[in-house]
Amino acid sequence: MVVEEAEDVRKRDIDQLVATVETIRRGSLVDYQGFGLIVAVAHGHRRVDPMVPKIAAALSRKQSREGVVYLVANCDQQLGRFVKEYLC
């Protein structure tokens, strides 16, 4: 699971997540050996741009076959649910 923390989640945060996922898949950050699933979460503490969840959903549809899911959490509780759902 990769989490991008931000006060206000905007498109640039999703762009950073995409770049981080690609870096992981190239093996530059960790010894990537084809994890079963990469979960990329944009976590906002105050506000989420209304377009961000739509962008994340479109990316997830496009990359789900490649084992990547993009999510947006607008509070700590929602992030906690994602952690339990995908890591436990």
Write phi, then psi, for 35 (nearest 5 degrees): -50, 155
pLDDT tens per residue, range 7-63: 999 999 999 999 999 998 887 777 767 667 899 999 998 899 999 999 999 999 999
Write phi, then psi, for 46 (nearest 5 degrees): -120, -55
CA distance 33 to 76: 30
Contact 7, 44 (CB under 8 A): yes
Contact 81, 41 (CB under 8 A): no
Contact 36, 87 (CB under 8 A): no
Q: What is the pLDDT of residue 35?
A: 66
Residue the block writes with tokens 């989420």:
48
pTM, two decimals, is 0.87
